[in-house]
Amino acid sequence: MSSSETRADPPAGSVPGDTPAASARPAARQGELALFAPPAATDEMLVPARMVNEWTYCPRLAVLEWGRGEWAGNADTAAGRRAHKATETGAAPALPEPEALPDDKALKTRRLLLASERLGLTAELDVIEADDGCVVPVDIKTGKRPHVAEGAYLPERVQVCVQALLLREAGYVCDEGALWFADSRERVRVELTDELIATALRAASDLRLTVASGRLPPPLDHSQKCVRCSLLPICLPDEVNWFRKGAIARTPPPAATPALPLYVQTPGARVTKKDFTLVVQVEGEADRAVPLDEVSELVLAGPISLTTPAVHELLRRDVPVAWMSSGFWYLGSTGPQGPRSAAVRTAQYAFAADEARRLVFARELVAAKIRNSRTILRRNWRGEDGERGPLLDRLALLADRTARADNAAALLGLEGEAAALYFRALPKLFTEGVAALPAFAFERRNRRPPADPVNACLSLLYAVLTRTFASAISVAGLDPWKGVYHVERPGRPALALDLIEPFRPVLADSAVLMALNNGELAPDDFVSAAGGCNLKPKARRALIAAYERRLDQETTHPAFGYQVSMRRLIQIQARLFARFVSGEIPRYPHYVPR
């Protein structure tokens, strides 16, 4: 039973760990027990006042941000940073010790950090005013003062109340707090009532106990609070609630950033930083500058140099750098690795250790891949109609048989049989012009190295797709190297290889078909040597451009029913897999379009 279900309200003015006299304690009803988080241990994180604000606003938001280390910015958070930055300008006197406060003059200081292990709280105060021996914390807020009876909403009043309690704990006399709304330039007095103090302390206690338990509170249900929340793309409230309600009322959460990946593949190129841009320098060519705000990921293929100032700026902006070989084999990533918490990875490892759950997931994964392969054939078929029906029926039968597979070896057999049928029929999806070119003759899938141009294109985009998923997986807090269906090997991002399976036909294969059938690739765009085939640099750029266009195309999510770009879909799927292994949703909704 949670503390909120068993706890009686605390006495006014009490703190976690206090033991008030029996006469001051409210009478507990039968079945109730006063339960508060104990004083913080020496090595325990103290709850920031801002997190008490967020718990009061939305418990899930506070746990995601403080307990799980999740963060995403938006226009509102940027405005908040600018408003608080203004308090750092100009010199301000230090706040004297409580006994040294002057009685005959007023003082004003800025940016004071306070903490208390007994309260389990900490706060960074924007402004502190002192007059006549008393101090008043002033918290700066963006926006305009809300027109409510209390002068401000409860979460903001709770936050300034925590600041006042910390000042009292430090020995200062503090009878009230204040909020300053920057846009309307209005000041609101916050009265430190017994009820407000009890609410603040109860919220801080509940947050600490929830984080300690490892529990993630459920999302709000169709709340307007979610609309402008910066963590909406991470929280996925409607998607999580869909498993309970079976319906979604809103459009998909926006991407955390509209930026796109930047690919650099010219050998010897150098990437540096200048002002707010990344500059790509290639000997004998004009420098190319790309605004940093437009870069979601930097992909370096082959011997490319990256300067230290550029690395520092990318780290500050949480922009990952993907390292790939000249042939676009994914080597790994540097930079941000998702939330600063191991909670999701711990759940992932526990899931991977459960053989029964792994098998159920693998069955659904292979079935989704086979069904998507069938969909690509059905949508793009250019051969004889009489050939298509039996082929589609055979693939549908193989997809259904995955539900009866007893082990991974049986699934591999079904997957292999379906892949042989699918790739054997792939030339039936080419236009007549492409099919007539001997250079684009295709009989079967091969790799290491690919023997012909079509296989070279498939191998390249499978590697790029792996990189795309590895990045999304890491950002979601998952370990890309710990797989469920694929065998783990050093240097092999097994989980990325798992999750890309249903996307191979609908993203990589369809992009190859697009580039070939549209005439974006020609036979002389390839070079063959030592039994292998590879794309020339210009052809790689053309094929990757086709892949990026495919990512920008919109699709209907088969489970939730809303329109979303393929690029955003990958991010949503990675987040949903994290929710799945954590036990928050009962199943992982594979992407299987109609």
Strands of 288-291's sheet, edge to edge? 288-291, 277-281, 270-274, 305-306
The secondary structure of 270-289 as a DSSP string is EEEEETTEEEEE-TTS--EE
Pairing mode, if any, of strands 277-281 and 288-291? antiparallel
Nearest CA among 414, 413, 512 for reference residue 462: 512
List of residues 6+ apart from 367 with CB closer than 8 A: 399, 400, 402, 403, 590
* Residue 486 is labelled as binding a ligand: yes
Q: How far apart are CA 312 and CA 382, in angstroms?
A: 51
Radius of gyration from C-alpha coordinates of the chain: 29
List of residues 6+ apart from 487 with CB closer than 8 A: 494
| Distances in whole angstroms, Cα of residue 401 to Cα of each of 216, 365, 391, 405, 420 | 36, 13, 15, 7, 16
Opening angle at CA 502, ends 520 and 539, nearest 5: 20
* Residue 150 is labelled as binding a ligand: no
Detail the DSSP E strand segments found in 170-294.
176-181, 186-191, 260-264, 270-274, 277-281, 288-291
Q: Which residue type is seen at 138?
A: V
Q: What stretch of H or E contains 302?
A: none
> Residues 555, 379, 402, 464: is their CA dihedral positive or negative?
negative
11: left (phi over 0), alpha (psi -120 to 50) or beta: beta
- Percentages (nearest 5) of helix, strand, coil residues in the chain: 45, 15, 40
Within 10 angstroms of residue 209's Cβ, the number of other Cβ atoms is 19
Contact at 8 Å (CB) between 170 and 162?
A: no
List of residues 6+ apart from 103 with CB closer than 8 A: 132, 133
Detail the DSSP E strand segments found in 106-242.
107-116, 121-131, 134-141, 176-181, 186-191
Contact at 8 Å (CB) between 381 and 429?
A: yes
Contact at 8 Å (CB) between 39 and 17?
A: yes
Q: How far apart are CA 91 and CA 94, in angstroms?
A: 9
361, 362, 367, 368: CA torsion to nearest 10: 60
Q: How far apart are CA 475 and CA 457, in angstroms?
A: 27
* Residue 415 is labelled as binding a ligand: yes
Nearest CA among 101, 399, 58 for reference residue 234: 58
Contact at 8 Å (CB) between 593 and 555?
A: yes
Question: Beta partners for 297?
Answer: 261
Residue ranges for the known binding site for Mn(2+) are: 415, 486, 501
Instruction: List, as residue ranges, the binding site.
Output: 415, 486, 501
